[in-house]
Structure 1
Amino acid sequence: MIYLIIILFSILFIFLIVLNIQFKLFYFPSKKIRILEYHSISINGFEDQITISKEKIIEQFEYLKNNNYTTLWMSEIDELTNKKQDLPAKTVVLTFDDGFLDNYTELYPLLQQYNFKAVCFMVLGRIGQDVDWNGKYVNENMKLMNKQQLLEIGSHIELGYHTFKHDNYANLTLDEIEKDLQLCQEIIKKEELNVFPALAYTFGGYYRKKGVNQKLFFDLLKKYGIKYGLRIGNRVNIFPLKNIYEIQRIDIRGTDSMKDFKKKVIFGRKKIF
């Protein structure tokens, strides 16, 4: 009988360890960072993988507000890390990729209304232009914010890197990636933009396989002053951030239900098992 009890307790212990690894259930609230990934906002009710309706994102913002979540920029996460200070108990980083025009027309007023902050990861070589990269969920009618708009939103939106022309780093050589980073920094300097050196990998693509090439890739990011690299992964991060070039974001899709959204905010994903 005692052996059965030991086996059952061992199974339970292992199960709890797995749960903690997957969902960070047993960490203090001040140790958790939820980084939510969005793209575009529609005003006509249209929704797909990267486009969320304005009505739905308002509902999500209401949930975050009513449940006392605090929104921070990546630069503020960095500052708290450097000062060895704690996070607010419920910390969320709202991130929006690409820099779509609706981030100015729709997102920015909502952030002002809710007193929220967000980070827009910009395709820096396409500022003020039409979308010109391939993708199932983008089209030539989608436009990107221009310089003047980027300057206007600074009270509530922090800018970050999202490559020069929306290339997938997983498909580029190290030399090509270095050239891309150089071009990004030339644009930032030329346009006199305030861009925090955090990079969201387009398509979530980077040198994922551990080894020499990954180390060279991370060394290259460090060489160009990139402090953080953000991937997709649908996990809650633990503060202070350890794997600074493999920070995980939680993919918020326009097709998610409110129930899905709540699960993602709490657990990092909507499917628990």
Structure 2
Amino acid sequence: MILYIIPVLLAVFIVVYFRLYLFACPHNRLVILMYHQVEKESHEDLTVSVKNLEQQFSYLNRKKYIPHFFSELTISSKKNIIITFDDGYKNNLEYLPSLLEKYDLKATIFIPTGFIEKGYNNYSMMTFDEIRSLDKKYFEIALHSHAHENLKNISIDCIEKDLKKNMEILDAHNIKYSKVLAYPYGKYPQKKEDKLTFFSILKKIGIEFAVRIGNKVNYYPTQRPYELCRIDIKGKDSIIKFKLKLIFGRLKLF
């Protein structure tokens, strides 16, 4: 009997705690969600099923989360959200436009131009023409480097050249983009001096924000525009786990 009581008590505690937390939390919360691929069914962490994604989008709409692009970021509520997708997979084009329109949401897609030019493993990627044709009411394009290398492992000079190439290729294809960078693999220089130099390069080339993973809720305005955290939404996350992540980021007990 006690085995049944404990989960029920835990569920009640979580619900009550959620409501108290949301009531007390600051109005300047900014949740940034991270996705990659969308398929009819999910078989891996980086792919979310259409069914799960629609359930998540429906929840955001019902609970009146306010969707933002990085390019028009103004905070006026407790329920601010930026939805992001990495890499420019063709399945994003197949499934996202109708879902975003249906639930009145927006998405930022971070583009590594090398993946679009040369492909990535055996995945189908969008073309530059397809990226350019995305409805700007629902989509914002942003930067994900050119070569998609771990920025923690390459020199500052190489990073600068790579990021400039990322922007130059998008410019050459007449693709409008926001100067927001998603770090490949969520990595960037961590040693104090290297980080300061790296951030100075980002500022020099006009990068306004950069996102890592972190799995934490942000507060905006921020003093750390190059270390905004995203919350990793995995393929097999249940709707309960999704709701938990919206509040807390990642919970260790899950």
Q: Which residue of 2 aligns with 1:123?
A: 112
Q: 1:54 aligns with which of 50, 69, 84?
A: 50
TM superposition shift of 1:269: 1.8
Percent of residue pairs bearing the same amino acid type: 35
Using the size of structure 2 for normalisation, the TM-score is 0.87
Q: 1:229 aligns with which of 181, 193, 210?
A: 210
1:152-231 map, 5 Å: 152-153=133-134, 154-209=136-191, 211-231=192-212
Q: Does 1:27 align with 2:31?
A: no
Q: Which residue of 2 aligns with 1:10?
A: none
Q: Does 1:239 align with 2:220?
A: yes
The 3 A distance-change label for structure 1 pair 272 and 34 is farther
Give me the whole-angstrom Cα distance separating, in 2, the residues matched to 1:130 and 1:259.
Answer: 35
Q: 1:91 aligns with which of 80, 86, 96?
A: 80
Give me the whole-angstrom Cα distance separating, in 2, the residues matched to 1:230 and 1:190.
Answer: 25
TM superposition shift of 1:240: 0.6
The 3 A distance-change label for structure 1 pair 258 and 150 is same
Give me the whole-angstrom Cα distance separating, in 2, the residues matched to 1:25 and 1:49.
Answer: 32
Give the secondary structure class of the aligned counterpart of 1:195: coil
TM superposition shift of 1:107: 1.1
Using the size of structure 1 for normalisation, the TM-score is 0.81
TM superposition shift of 1:155: 2.4
The 3 A distance-change label for structure 1 pair 144 and 128 is farther
8 Å contact 1:129–1:144 — kept in the other structure?
no
Give me the whole-angstrom Cα distance separating, in 2, the residues matched to 1:195 and 1:108.
Answer: 18
Gap regions ≥5 residues in structure 1: 1-22, 81-85, 132-139
| Letter aligned with residue 127 of structure 1 | I
Give me the whole-angstrom Cα distance separating, in 1, the residues matched to 2:196 and 2:23.
Answer: 31
Give me the whole-angstrom Cα distance separating, in 2, the residues matched to 1:182 and 1:128.
Answer: 16
Give me the whole-angstrom Cα distance separating, in 1, the residues matched to 2:32 and 2:164.
Answer: 27
Give the secondary structure class of the aligned counterpart of 2:178: strand
Q: Which residue of 1 aligns with 2:123?
A: 142
Q: Which residue of 2 aligns with 1:260?
A: 241
Matched pairs, number: 234
8 Å contact 1:128–1:143 — kept in the other structure?
no
| Letter aligned with residue 120 of structure 1 | I
The 3 A distance-change label for structure 1 pair 31 and 213 is same
**CA RMSD of the aligned region, Å?**
1.9
Give me the whole-angstrom Cα distance separating, in 2, the residues matched to 1:129 and 1:104.
Answer: 18
TM superposition shift of 1:150: 1.2
8 Å contact 1:71–1:92 — kept in the other structure?
yes
| Letter aligned with residue 39 of structure 2 | S
Deviations 1:64-109 (A, max 9, x none): 11111111111111xx3xxxxx423311100001111111111122
8 Å contact 2:32–2:217 — kept in the other structure?
yes
Q: Does 1:66 align with 2:66?
A: no
Give me the whole-angstrom Cα distance separating, in 2, the residues matched to 1:129 and 1:143.
Answer: 11
TM superposition shift of 1:272: 6.4
Deviations 1:188-230 (A, max 9, x none): 2211110100000010010123x21110000001111101110
